[in-house]
Amino acid sequence: MATHDILPGEYEPSASQWVRDQVELYERTGGREGDTLMDTGMPVVILSTRGRKSGKVRKSAVMKVEHGGLYAVIGSQGGAPEDPAWVHNLRAAPDEVALQDGPEPFAATAREVEGDERELWWDRAVAAYPPYADYQRKTDRRIPVFVVGPKG
């Protein structure tokens, strides 16, 4: 099943060429290629959201942080002062989400976590991708943490 079957609508590729290229490669090969963050060897998954302003489908490669069939997606943007655009999309439409970890995407829902649950998922995220800890130190904002899981 393709992402457009799960999350219908016009797909608007990222303004960033490397993001467009990685998403296309990952989807075309069913996650056999384009499945790591650049040259780090760290695994990624493809997160698809509904654009809160445009209504178009947006796709991003995010670090793979999986536990018990659920995924944490971390709005780090490398410690930039602002959240990545997909954070706003998830907040606006948490039920219009798809996630692809391997050959097939699945319909998903997202929820932002806080308190002890956030700390648990944050620790899992830092264990999977240690630079997250540095990113938090670089920014004054609290990096948002979402848990994404299959719909239903």
- N-terminal to C-terminal alpha carbon distance within the chain: 17
Half-sphere exposure of 78 (CA within 13 A, CB side): 1
Share of the chain above pLDDT 70, in %: 100
> Which pTM does this prediction carry?
0.94
Q: Give the pairing type, strands 44-50 and 57-63.
A: antiparallel
Per the structure block, which two tokens stand in for 2? 């393709």
Instruction: Classify 83 as helix, strand or coil.
Output: coil
Enumerate domains of the chain plus CATH numbers. Answer: 3-150 (2.30.110.10)
For residue 90, name the pLDDT band (cuts at 50, 70, 90). very high
Per the structure block, which two tokens stand in for 144? 């948002």
Distance, CA of 118 to CA of 65 (rounded, Å): 13
